[in-house]
Structures are given as C-alpha cells and as structure tokens.
Structure 1
C-alpha cells in the first residue's frame, strides 16, 4: 500500500493508471445499477474523470 501511495505522489504511471481504471469501472457499475438514481446521475462524471486521468497519465514516466 505504501508503494502505491508513493507512486501516486511521485507521479508514476502504474498507480495512476490503476486509479483511473478503478474510476472507470466504478462509473460503469454506477451506470448499470438499477437501485439509486443518485449513483446513476454521477456515473457519467466519474467515468469521464477516470478517462481524462487515464489519458493524462499515459504521458507520465514509467
């Protein structure tokens, strides 16, 4: 866990890509669930943030 946090703080690609992928997956799960309209309404924004982070992180050093 400390390697993950230090990777985030040092702007390394691996931890940031994992965070972006988790956000994208979370957004998709929020989009497909039928129970809470609040989660559904935030799903597009979460997916969009994850996608933008992933695009930016692809330029970070490995």
Structure 2
C-alpha cells in the first residue's frame, strides 16, 4: 500500500537532490583546497572556476526533487 501524499517520482535516483548536493559540496571543497595549496600554480589557476562551477551546480540542484 502506498502512503498518502507520497508519489513515485519519474526522476532517476542519481538525479535526486541529496546525492547531487553532496557532489556539489565536494566540488566546492576541492576548489577551496586548490586555492590554498602552495604547490602547483595550475591548481591555483583553476580553483576559482572549480568553486564557481560547484556553487552554480549547488544552486541548480537545490531545485531538483528529493
């Protein structure tokens, strides 16, 4: 029997909000680590783009269904 108020979503499991919000948070964290590491200039160069991508991804994914 199904519970009232709960309906089966047609979205695939990998496109749900919880998983992709965690992925976006990890990408933001990687960008932060890339920004503050003292070893490779190329990592520092790409750090802002990485954090920006993670932030935009988080904003978009937060609109997905649970």
| Fold similarity call, TM over 0.5 | yes
Q: Which runs of 5+ in 2 are unaligned?
A: 1-11
Output the CA distance in 1 between the equivalents of 2:62 and 2:23: 13
Task: Give the ranges of 4+ consecutive aligned residues of structure 1 lying more than 2 Å apart after TM superposition.
Answer: none
Q: How many residues align?
A: 55
Asked if residue 7 in structure 1 is aligned to residue 13 in structure 2, the reply is yes
Out of 22, 35, 58, the residue aligned to residue 62 of structure 2 is 58
Output the CA distance in 2 between the equivalents of 1:23 and 1:41: 15
Q: Could you tell me the TM-score, scaled by structure 2's length?
A: 0.79
Partner in structure 2 of residue 20 of structure 1: 24
Partner in structure 1 of residue 3 of structure 2: none
Partner in structure 2 of residue 32 of structure 1: 36
More helix by share: 1
